[in-house]
Structure 1
């Protein structure tokens, strides 16, 4: 009986997942109206991915008139359900002033929340903000901690920056061996800047 019920649940869930994937493909193919209708259907049932895509379409004007207020509403709805891509976009929106005014504190808050949830891009952004002193007192040591977290997830850009930090002694003691380790790791992932710098260091 339990097996029959389990199989029944699988049958119900599989089409829903496929339909969401189809809606995303529809956006990529330029079939915006069909995609938007599908996303709204899932958003009504509390799907944060659907909220994220609706927000993206309104922010970019894909099949609808651009409307940042509507986009923000759906990004916030998605972020409140712990969808880290929405948190990252909100961070970038406030950092770049896409609402008409920059808000560095809000940007940092969203990046930090996404970083704590494991988002590698958010970790990188937090690191850059502390290294460069964007909205906070510059503190390369704290910044490199975030970069290390991102690098350990396998993020090529973070590995490149960490290698550069060890090479130049930014936020860490200069260490050529560690620099080479991280630069090689980034280069093996195909990161162009790492490949170029590695050639210069090894010549």
Structure 2
């Protein structure tokens, strides 16, 4: 279910660009029909809708169809088709497609692994795409395709979160928790960013604070605090926290 939700979110993000090939209002309406079919899990019909639009040169549909083939939803996973559809969309400057091409280069999916090319892709997409900002943060944190720069990593993680990609806040918490690149761990700063993630509907942030207090990671062990933060996450339906509370509460 969580993967399905993330997939739908990515499709919704593809609405950012104007339609081409067909008249914009017609393409926009047809594309929205495709998104409705995705939400309903009617993959065959969604693929048909996106394919017809993609063949007219509609960048959003090229991206969405590429994503379907990338993840193998309703079809056999096909990285070749995913790459070529992303490329067609990226050539029209569609940020989500540019970002996903970058991820294929970063992970060596279909293409030879090349962190330098991935970094360029993320940088190109980042002005209009929050996940690309988060990916730039990861590159700067780990020195992928660019010299390691922890300050830049922190900057891009925060920008990603502020732009709606809440995993950026969580990554910022992780960075402060473990330290790196000459920056010492700072558990209180980590807790701050995990809480920020939780407050922005990323329940894993609350859950991680619960783990910190339960295990005594940089703080004294505190069962009551652990339960409090697990309850915050569980209230959103976060299953790992619900299971934790069954173990911790009498």
Q: TM-score, normalised by structure 2?
A: 0.61
Tell me, which stretches of 5 or more residues in structure 1 are unaligned?
1-11
Verify: 1:162 aligned to 2:172, yes or no: yes
How many residues align? The count is: 191
Q: Does the C-alpha gap of structure 1 residues 197 and 43 become closer, same or farther in structure 2, counting only changes over 3 Å?
A: closer
Q: 1:150 is matched with which residue: 157, 160, 172?
A: 160
CA distance in 2, matches of 1:65, 1:195: 36
Mapped contact 2:118–2:145 kept (Cα < 8 A): no
Task: Provide the alpha-carbon RMSD of the alignment.
Answer: 3.2
Which position in structure 1 is the counterpart of 2:129?
119
Secondary structure, aligned partner of 1:107: helix
Query: Displacement of 1:33 after TM fit?
Result: 4.5
CA distance in 1, matches of 2:201, 2:114: 34
Q: 1:51 is matched with which residue: 62, 83, 92?
A: 62
Tell me, which stretches of 5 or more residues in structure 2 are unaligned?
1-22, 214-218, 223-250
Verify: 1:139 aligned to 2:149, yes or no: yes
Mapped contact 2:140–2:147 kept (Cα < 8 A): yes
Q: 1:79 is matched with which residue: 90, 95, 100?
A: 90
Mapped contact 1:151–1:162 kept (Cα < 8 A): no
Q: Deviations over 1:39-76 (max 9, x none)?
A: 23322443211111232344445566654333322211
Q: TM-score, normalised by structure 1?
A: 0.73
Query: Displacement of 1:170 after TM fit?
Result: 5.0
In terms of mean alpha carbon deviation, does 94-103 or 165-174 score higher?
165-174
Question: Which has the larger helix fraction?
Answer: 1
Query: Displacement of 1:127 after TM fit?
Result: 0.8
Q: Residues 1-203 of structure 1: matches in 2 within 5 Å?
A: 16-27=27-38, 29=40, 31-60=42-71, 66-99=77-110, 101-115=112-126, 117-166=127-176, 179-199=190-210, 200=213, 203=222
